[in-house]
Amino acid sequence: MKVLRTPNKYFKNIKDYPFEPVYTSIQTKDGTEIRVHHIDEGPRNGPILLAMHGQPVWSYLYARMIPILNEAGIRVIAPDLVGYGKSDKPAAREDYSYQNQVDWMSTWLEKNNFKNLTFFGQDWGGLIGLRMIAQDPDRFIKVSMGNTGLPYNPDTPQEVINQVKAFRGSDLKLTPMSVAKEVRQMDGQSLAQDKSQKSHPALKFMYWQKFCWDTENLPIGFLNTSMMEKRSKFVLLGQYIFHRLGLNNISPFRTDLSKAYDAPFPNASYKMGPRAMPNQVPIFPDQSLDAQRIAREFFATSTIPFLSVFAGDDPVTNDIERDVLKMAPNAKSAPHIGGGHFYQWTRPKQLSKILIDFIKE
């Protein structure tokens, strides 16, 4: 396995990320060494929150929440998934299977021997983290998650599967704007429920899957600033044009946030994780089907306190909460706080308060 490592110089001068890096070396099944980064902030004797991010971000997503949580006496451990942030980045598409990612982060967890954890995961942080909990539950005392789930779709119509695969392999050229238009129409749908061929959410999510994979130099900083910051369409267009021209580093339209999310990826070769992972979301039966079923069966009978914390205004995940509450009968639902998909950044105070109350209750 070929592995890339982002030089430290690319992380210099990132605003509002003063945290000391902690590195753990793990071995993959083929014996390759991968270095996983995490931050560990707050009182050593405080209750511990394990906070996991998704695609296409890294632990920087929690930078606004960590001071609030620390002030409340909570120790925060936030890793970078393999392929993101300061963690190493395998270079091949096939490296980023769902199972590999669960195995990598489970090995990281075991090697650090973290225990008595309250978990919070969003996006891929939830897909990976909930599987980690199901296979090693004794390390966790509470579970919280939002804008994510454990998709399980054993009965997706074959017509939908064929249409998605044909679309992914087509020559259609997508832009961030055309993808956003399609994804917004997922409002009220669910990646976790079987739908008819006409309305199945896979037929909208496939736009994000295709765009990420087909775009070799994925505009990660641009994508994240467009989702997390209020900016005019003119400014966003300017930033995107500079990216397409290969002039991202001198773009006058970049913000501190977009620079932070570009930092882990010196060039396109480092972006295989963000490009490959959307196609691993199990929106129809694949190699992860049995593992998803087993994990869901665990949560169906688990007595670990479980809190569902959804934004309520995220088109991709709006309706998944109903499936989560069905999957985990002991789960409670927190009030929706808005803020879109990455509400860790846009609603840090509100989300932190919910988690603080959950941890201390």
| CATH number assigned to the domain comprising residue 338 | 3.40.50.1820
Residue 348's pLDDT is 98
Rounded to the nearest integer, the mean pLDDT of the chain is 94
Give the total number of structural domains in the chain. 2
Q: Which of 66-75, 101-110, 241-250, 313-322 has the lowest mean pLDDT?
A: 313-322
Residue 186 is predicted with a pLDDT of 72
Mean pLDDT of 79-96: 97
**Active site (catalytic) residues:** 123, 314, 341
Instruction: Say whether pLDDT at 294 is over 70.
Output: yes
Residue 196 has pLDDT above 60, yes or no: no
Q: What is the pLDDT of residue 198?
A: 58
Examine the domain organization and report whether 127 and 163 are in the same domain: no
Q: Is residue 96 located within the same domain as residue 119?
A: yes
Specify the pLDDT at position 187: 52
Residues 30 and 122 in one domain: yes
Asked if residue 284 has pLDDT above 60, the reply is: yes
More confident residue, 284 or 311: 311
Q: Tell me: do 140 and 22 sit in the same domain.
A: yes
Domain edge (last residue) among 280, 314, 344? 280
Do both 189 and 265 map to the same domain? yes
- Comparing 206 with 187, the larger pLDDT belongs to 206
Q: Both 339 and 314 in a single domain?
A: yes
Mind listing the pLDDT tens digit for each residue in 138-168? 999 999 999 999 999 898 899 999 999 999 9
Q: What is the pLDDT of residue 197?
A: 55
Least confident residue range of 87-96, 182-191, 274-283, 345-354: 182-191
Range of the structural domain that residue 35 is part of: 3-153+286-360
Q: How much is the pLDDT for 182?
A: 85
Mean pLDDT for 181-194 is 60
pLDDT-based confidence at residue 318 (cuts at 50, 70, 90): confident
pTM across the whole model:
0.95
Residue 95 reports pLDDT greater than 80 = yes
* Whether residue 309 is found in the same domain as residue 256: no
Whether 273 and 292 share a structural domain: no
132 and 12 inside one domain: yes
Min mean pLDDT across 102-111, 115-124, 166-175, 180-189 is at: 180-189
Token pair 């950044």 in the structure block, residue: 345
